[in-house]
Amino acid sequence: MDLWPNHINNNNNNIIFPKCKQSSLFKFYNLSNKIISIHDYLSFHMGKLTIHHNNNNNNNTIGLNSSLVTCSLFPIKRLNDYQSIYLNVIEQIYHGYQSEWPMFMVMCQPKQNILLLQSYLNWNNTKLNQIERLFICGSYQNNIKQIKSNRTLTKIKQNKLMFNILLLGIDSISRLSAYRYLTKTMKFLQSINESSIIMNLYNVIGDGTTVNLLGLLTGQLESELPESRKSHMNINKNNLLLNKFNNYTILDNYPWIWKEYTDYGNYVTHYIEDTPKWGTFQHRLCGFGSVNSPTTSYGRPCLIAAHQEENYSGKILGCTMYTHQVLLESLTEFFETYSDRPRFSLTFLSELIHENPAYVKLIDEDLSKLIQRIYYEDLRFNGGNMKASSSSSYPFANTLVVLFSDHGPRMGDARLSVQVDCSLLFNSQTNKLVIGDIVSFIDNPFVFVYYNSVVWENIYLNYYKSSNY
């Protein structure tokens, strides 16, 4: 009997890139006439614009006359967990421009477009199709809403080390998939085994992203928390209607771990995940209220704005650069911006991987570089007599990293694989090893923990002190 039909034998792990609309607005004037994206032409760091006129690596120059192209900036404002809006546009931004907003969309187009619209001249489809957009989901502290950092810390002793927490999640990657596709990352993690723990047993508490992240972030099962599912909440005239415009929701009062860090140690907090249509706490659950963002830096409004724009303009994020790179840039900027404060970040990558775990190969290089940066900044910061003021040079120093997934692949050809692990048990009556429970490891997510000696000593001492040992 043929257990594997012919069409399944084909290799379906080939990477298929998103379909993006090509534009010739930015391009090199060289022999190959290479088309580049808006991300190659301009970039932002801490909200400051840099226009890359020259490429010193190959002596090519961007063939762009600034008198013919104009770029505008649209600040992004959160209305609620389901809608974002643009504020008043800043016209004709320039090299060195400093944005007051951490999240915004940049639109570049030929100046002729503006003239055509103003003078009602003949419509030029070619010029209008040259519009390019860039979304910046920044995390820096803007000038509009300053964050107070001079709070009185009643629960912390002076001179106590406050290490950073990074929860970096990757959707739908089992432990075996991590070894199979994250080859560079796993190789490096195994090389620093004195500073890392790879959890090889069963790491899941429920079925799906939401239930597992709720357990991770609240310490409780979904069934133990107040009801927040849209389909199960009471909706009648006597109760506040469940809609997208609630000032506060049940989720605001959940015992989130980032609240504990903020209350205990004056931590600044960061939360960003892609695929806003299927948000972890917005798809089945009611989302967070519109009055306050759940964390100091909250990336969802930027991703919502990009999603809304793509309904009219086609795919944007994932075209000029991978979406996971946008999220990792936001994470990095957050750690650099608040280098003088203890930091907590939850960064969750989903869009590229959810349908096929093989796509995580595209993340491997960037993920490996990030883990290596954290590791080597730790070595440099703790290896010498570094002063506290130098923490800005090593923003990732003293960071406890939990690299994890929510579950294994739930769709695609990976589900056809037979992947099990047998636990060996000792039978005292027969004095022999016997096969115990067989666990399906295709559904078992990977979990990796990185720590340095300073962080581990701090955790170890605090644990035993709190346990009265």
**pLDDT single digits (tens) 362-382:** 999 999 999 999 999 998 988
pLDDT, the chain, mean? 78
Q: How many CB atoms lie within 10 A of CB 94?
A: 9
Task: Region of 240 please: left (phi>0), alpha (psi -120 to 50) or beta.
Answer: beta
What local confidence, expressed as pLDDT, does residue 36 receive? 62
Q: How many CB atoms lie within 10 A of CB 319?
A: 22
Residues contacting residue 427 through CB under 8 Å, at least 6 positions apart? 433, 434
pLDDT interval class at 151 (50, 70, 90): very low
Q: Is the pLDDT of residue 191 over 70?
A: yes
The SS3 of residue 52 is: coil
AA letter at 42: L
pLDDT interval class at 147 (50, 70, 90): very low
Residues contacting residue 98 through CB under 8 Å, at least 6 positions apart? 47, 48, 49
AA letter at 168: L
Residues contacting residue 286 through CB under 8 Å, at least 6 positions apart? 228, 229, 230, 233, 242, 246, 249, 250, 251
What local confidence, expressed as pLDDT, does residue 283 receive? 93
What local confidence, expressed as pLDDT, does residue 345 receive? 98
Range 138-152 average pLDDT: 57
pLDDT interval class at 155 (50, 70, 90): very low
Q: Is the pLDDT of residue 140 over 60?
A: yes
Residues 280 and 291: their CA atoms lie apart, in Å, by 20
Identify whether the C-beta of residue 64 lies closer than 8 Å to the C-beta of residue 108. no
Q: How far is CA 347 from CA 167, 271, 322, in A?
A: 6, 6, 15
Most confident of 47-56, 84-93, 174-183: 84-93
pLDDT interval class at 431 (50, 70, 90): low
Identify whether the C-beta of residue 346 lies closer than 8 Å to the C-beta of residue 167. yes
Lowest average pLDDT, out of 175-184, 249-258, 346-355, 432-441, goes to: 432-441
Identify whether the C-beta of residue 280 lies closer than 8 Å to the C-beta of residue 222. no
Residues 315 and 102: their CA atoms lie apart, in Å, by 22
What local confidence, expressed as pLDDT, does residue 445 receive? 87
Q: Is the pLDDT of residue 235 over 60?
A: no
Q: Is the pLDDT of residue 277 over 70?
A: yes
The model's pTM is 0.83
What local confidence, expressed as pLDDT, does residue 18 receive? 61
The SS3 of residue 356 is: coil
Identify whether the C-beta of residue 15 lies closer than 8 Å to the C-beta of residue 362. yes
Range 117-124 average pLDDT: 56
Q: Is the pLDDT of residue 119 over 60?
A: no
Tens digits of residue pLDDT in 241-267:
445 556 889 999 999 999 999 998 889
Range 203-221 average pLDDT: 92
For a pLDDT cut of 70, what percent of the chain falls above it?
67
Range 25-54 average pLDDT: 69
Q: Show the DSSP H helices in 96-208 as ranges.
A: 111-119, 125-128, 175-181, 183-191
Identify whether the C-beta of residue 298 lies closer than 8 Å to the C-beta of residue 272. yes
What local confidence, expressed as pLDDT, does residue 442 receive? 62
pLDDT: which is higher, 160 or 250: 250
pLDDT: which is higher, 325 or 454: 325
pLDDT interval class at 4 (50, 70, 90): very low
For a pLDDT cut of 90, what percent of the chain falls above it?
41
Q: Is the pLDDT of residue 406 over 60?
A: yes
pLDDT interval class at 131 (50, 70, 90): confident
pLDDT interval class at 289 (50, 70, 90): very high
What local confidence, expressed as pLDDT, does residue 350 receive? 92
pLDDT interval class at 148 (50, 70, 90): very low
Q: Count Cβ neighbours within 10 Å for each residue of 241-269 and write b for 16 or more, e otherwise.
A: ebeeebeebbbbebebbbbebbeebbbbb
Q: Show the DSSP H helices in 56-142 as ranges.
A: 111-119, 125-128
287: its two tokens: 């989302």
What local confidence, expressed as pLDDT, does residue 368 receive? 97
What local confidence, expressed as pLDDT, does residue 279 receive? 94
AA letter at 448: F
Range 50-58 average pLDDT: 62
Give the chain's domains with CATH numbers. 19-137 (no CATH), 164-466 (3.40.720)
pLDDT: which is higher, 213 or 151: 213
Lowest average pLDDT, out of 231-245, 309-323, 351-365, goes to: 231-245
Most confident of 120-134, 308-322, 410-424: 308-322
Range 12-21 average pLDDT: 62
Identify whether the C-beta of residue 247 lies closer than 8 Å to the C-beta of residue 304. no
